[in-house]
Amino acid sequence: MAKDKEFNEDTKAEEQAENVGNENVEESSKLDPLTELQNKYNELNDKYLRLHAEFDNYRRRTTKEKLDIISSASEGVLKDLLPVMDDFERAIENNDKVDNMESIKEGFHLIYNKLKSNLEAKGLKPMQSIGEPFDSELHEAIANVPAEDKDKSGKIVDDVEKGYFLHDKVIRYAKVVVAQ
């Protein structure tokens, strides 16, 4: 029995050693998930910070590109208008020297046609409003006058300020007089 008692004590000692080992394993396994979670958190936080910085850079870059596009678009229009400006300057200089009103009128018509063709080339179209029915999407009524006929009622009889389209988009509403 002494042998059994000795065997039991050895077995108990081994079991206690195993239990202590298991506790260490359990503690280390508890630390591992915590460490894993911390590592995962750090990784996700790093990804988030990089993504946020990348988005900020993208936003700044697109804003700068948009401003560049706007400035270069207006640059093209201004380059096309410079010859018209030159023509006006020459006309002003020559108006003092010319006595013939017909040549002055012809010069203004030439300059006007040059300006108009430049603007039309950029997509500008004038609205044709007179005789058309009033449309609040295109026109701004500034006055109403009595209609001569019932057929003219609700139609535009005068264009006070012409309206314009830029590629089928209204950029200036026509100010009109409507028959009632």
The tens digit of pLDDT for each residue in 33-51 reads 889 999 999 999 999 999 9
Residues spanned by the domain of 176: 125-180
| Burial (CB count within 10 angstroms: exposed 0-12, middle 13-18, buried 19+), residue 174 | buried
C-alpha torsion sign, points 131, 134, 137, 139 = positive
Number of independent structural domains in the chain: 1
The CATH number for 142's domain is 2.30.22.10
Indicate whether 103 belongs to any domain. no
Indicate whether 169 belongs to any domain. yes
Indicate whether 161 belongs to any domain. yes
Work out the average pLDDT over 85-95: 89
Non-local (6+) Cβ contacts of 123 within 8 A are 166, 167
Non-local (6+) Cβ contacts of 86 within 8 A are none
Q: Return the minimum-mean-pLDDT range out of 9-13, 25-29, 102-106, 118-122.
A: 25-29
β 174-179/139-145 pair status = parallel
Indicate whether 153 belongs to any domain. yes
46/37 Cα distance (integer angstroms): 14
Residue 55 banded pLDDT, cuts 50, 70, 90: very high
pLDDT > 90? residue 142: yes
Indicate whether 131 belongs to any domain. yes
